[in-house]
Structure 1
Amino acid sequence: MSDGTLPTFILIGAMKCGTTSLHRYLGAHPQVCVSDPKEPDFFLRRNEKGLAWYKQCFRESAQAFGEASTNYTKYPAFRGVPERMHRLLPDVKLLYLVRDPIERAVSHYAHNRVAGRESQSVDEAFRPVDGSHYLQTSRYHFQLSQYLEHYPGERVLVIESERLRADRKSVLREVFSFLGVDPAVEASAFEEEYHTTSGKLKPGVSTFLQETQFGQFLTSVGKALLPQALRERGLSVFRSDVKRPSLSESTRARVRAHLQNDVDQLRALTGKEFSGWSL
């Protein structure tokens, strides 16, 4: 153990693209230390915790240190994140997970609905298209451009979520190489997926565990005393399947028209095809 350090890489999002899984895969690499908690949200304006606290999130001995806060790519809901990040970490490497933008937005909506933070229908929540925070988060080029004003492109790796699921070993080798750690490492954790759409915590349970003092205490004690597999089995009683909402054809058409140019710009920027996407 050390007194902590600062991250050498940050997984900046996007929400509902597999950041929890990638965070776990990175943490299973013997040369990588990932933060505890997973999402420190240190660079959000609302964060009041100091630099000493942030360093304490990275206490294990390692060659690469990183965190994964999906709120970092929710501009303009959270402004100034890249500027604050660059002032402290001018040489940090950035990982950005992306997924079919319409599928991501619908999954984001379903997540909030199950958590009790959304009462509108999915069509209502996506109108107007230029005012929906679900769709703003799915504008990957727009989100990434905020960072490219401060970081050169070679310090950013855009990762296709669909490839992470379908060709995980190859993608992880690419990620590990980018981070400067051994790309040939293999671990049993690489075979698992975490926080998939089915089996989400029931409304109120997640909020209780994450946002109340007693819930945070229980979570901390559970992490300290119980193996992960046992914790997951204990939480299974509070999980429920998520019914996937469907967009009306008219809303889907408006969403496609709104997002298409951003996807085209992302393809041009990265040179990636994202061939499995719906637009």
Structure 2
Amino acid sequence: MPNLIVIGAAKCATTSLHAYLDAHPEVSMARPRSAVRGTNDDAPKEMRFFWRADWRENLAWYAAHFDPGSPVRGEATPAYAACPFHWGVPERIAEVAPDARLVYLVRDPIDRLMAHWVQARVDGLRSDLEEILQSRAWMDHQIVCPSRYATQVERYLAHFPAEQMLVVDQQDLKHDRERTLAEVFRFVGVDPAHRSAAFDRERNTRGEKLALTPAGRVAYRRVLDPAGRRLAPTPWSRTAPRVRRALSRPVPTPTLSDDVRSRLEDLFRPEVERLRALTGRAFSRWSL
């Protein structure tokens, strides 16, 4: 079983941290079996295991993803810190891997929310951000609840001692990477002085976020993708990403009205204050 789990938050550089950890010789990070390692550095990393209804029945499948010869065996699934959108995750992790070290990446909660919406648009979401934020259950929406950091931390601290969790500011990983990685490596129990060329690259960045245009969506989903899967599935799997990119355009950064921003600030400010108290960290680069 893993002894390291990156639990979130989404859009806080978890893909980059997964790669940095995996570049350490004492750490082995898992990928789901559907992702072929060694062929695509950006292949899906998320195991998405502990919210599955059949998680208990598939423990052997999950365990098979971890290298028993590696001192540190980890996985990274950002939505493990997305309660109440995903319930019961801390309890299940505590049952299976009670001694696991937990790394939780965070960033300015409003910035994170907007980046999450951009990713959701890339993945096919049709709703505008303001439409989501004006819905009845907006505080528990899947792109809002991951920014409620203190709520997520408190859920884990009910099942894990505080010394097993490290909260890391994404801005520190971005702007002070060497020191921040040394802190993470020290926390998980490996050589903090290790350096790698892999640490110079950022992954899954904002500039990579493209979404199908309306015409491209029709062409790709109704014609090209079905035909490619049916007629030449193996060549199409290699060609499809390039075709999809050609039919896509950058997703513009959303803008928030003063009213909506004020509502978000009212929701997140108490969360940030509790997070500072829980961690002793200032998060000085944040807007709240």
Normalised-by-shorter TM-score class? 0.7 to 0.9
Q: State the distance in 2 between where 1:31 and 1:51 align.
A: 24
Q: State the distance in 2 between where 1:72 and 1:158 align.
A: 14
1:40 alignment partner AA: M
Is residue 14 of structure 1 aligned with residue 9 of structure 2?
A: yes
Distance 1:46 1:202, change over 3 A: farther
Q: State the distance in 1 between where 2:68 and 2:251 align.
A: 36
Secondary structure at the aligned position of 2:8 is classed as coil
Structure 2 residues not aligned, in runs of 5+:
33-44, 221-228
Q: Give me the TM-score of the superposition, normalised by structure 1.
A: 0.84
Aligned to 2:174: 165
Which among 240, 259, 270 is matched to residue 261 of structure 1? Answer: 270
Aligned to 1:192: 201
Secondary structure at the aligned position of 1:67 is classed as strand
Q: CA deviation at 1:88?
A: 0.9
Distance 1:234 1:182, change over 3 A: farther
Q: CA deviation at 1:42?
A: 1.6
Aligned residues: 256
Which among 183, 189, 199 is matched to residue 174 of structure 1? Answer: 183
Which among 42, 46, 55 is matched to residue 39 of structure 1? Answer: 46
Is residue 97 of structure 1 aligned with residue 105 of structure 2?
A: yes
Which among 145, 164, 181 is matched to residue 136 of structure 1? Answer: 145
Give the superposed CA RMSD: 2.6
Secondary structure at the aligned position of 1:198 is classed as helix
Structure 1 residues not aligned, in runs of 5+:
1-5, 206-213, 223-231
Which among 30, 51, 55 is matched to residue 59 of structure 2? Answer: 51
Q: Give me the TM-score of the superposition, normalised by structure 2.
A: 0.81
Q: CA deviation at 1:242?
A: 2.5
Identity among equivalent pairs (%): 41
Is residue 112 of structure 1 aligned with residue 107 of structure 2?
A: no
Q: State the distance in 2 between where 1:88 and 1:169 align.
A: 32
Q: Write out the 4+ residue segments of structure 1 that deviate beyond 4 Å after TM superposition.
A: 232-240
Aligned to 1:244: 253
Does the Cα contact within 8 Å between 2:85 and 2:145 map onto a contact in 1? no
Q: CA deviation at 1:239?
A: 6.4
Structure of greater Rg: 2
Q: State the distance in 2 between where 1:56 and 1:201 align.
A: 34
Does the Cα contact within 8 Å between 2:85 and 2:141 map onto a contact in 1? no
Does the Cα contact within 8 Å between 1:200 and 1:239 map onto a contact in 2? no
Judge which range, 27-36 or 121-130, deviates more: 121-130
1:14 alignment partner AA: A
Secondary structure at the aligned position of 1:97 is classed as strand
Q: CA deviation at 1:134?
A: 2.1
1:8 alignment partner AA: N
Secondary structure at the aligned position of 1:11 is classed as strand
Distance 1:176 1:57, change over 3 A: same
Which among 59, 64, 67 is matched to residue 72 of structure 2? Answer: 64
Is residue 73 of structure 1 aligned with residue 81 of structure 2?
A: yes
